[in-house]
């Protein structure tokens, strides 16, 4: 795994966050990546997870995906 991003790199990625929030978000991502490498989580679980702070780089569910999940859970 690549080394953690430094403060300047994190500031470029997340200019809208406070430095402590940037570090927490970096740790959140690294935790998920570690879980995926260890086979403890899947890419789908990571994509569906909600970051602790707004992250424009994290995939978001499309509206039609959310509607499909709702309709599937409603049918059960």
Tens digits of per-residue pLDDT, 3-31? 889 999 999 999 999 999 999 999 999 99
For residue 27, is it within any domain?
Answer: yes
Backbone angles phi, psi at 10, to 5 degrees: -65, -35
Look at the chain and report how many structural domains it folds into.
1
For residue 68, is it within any domain?
Answer: yes
Q: CA 3, CA 8: separation in Å to the nearest integer? A: 14
For residue 38, is it within any domain?
Answer: yes
Instruction: Quote the domain boundaries for residue 43.
Output: 7-75
For residue 1, is it within any domain?
Answer: no
For residue 34, is it within any domain?
Answer: yes
Residue 58 binned pLDDT confidence (cut-offs 50, 70, 90): confident
């Amino acid at each position: 795994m690549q080394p953690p991003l430094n403060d300047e790199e994190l500031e470029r990625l997340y200019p809208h966050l406070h430095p402590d929030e940037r570090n927490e978000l970096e740790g959140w991502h690294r935790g998920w990546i570690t879980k995926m490498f260890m086979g403890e989580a899947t890419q789908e679980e990571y994509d569906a997870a909600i970051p602790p702070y707004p992250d424009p780089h994290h995939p978001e569910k499309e509206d039609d995906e959310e509607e499909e999940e709702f309709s599937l859970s409603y049918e059960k």
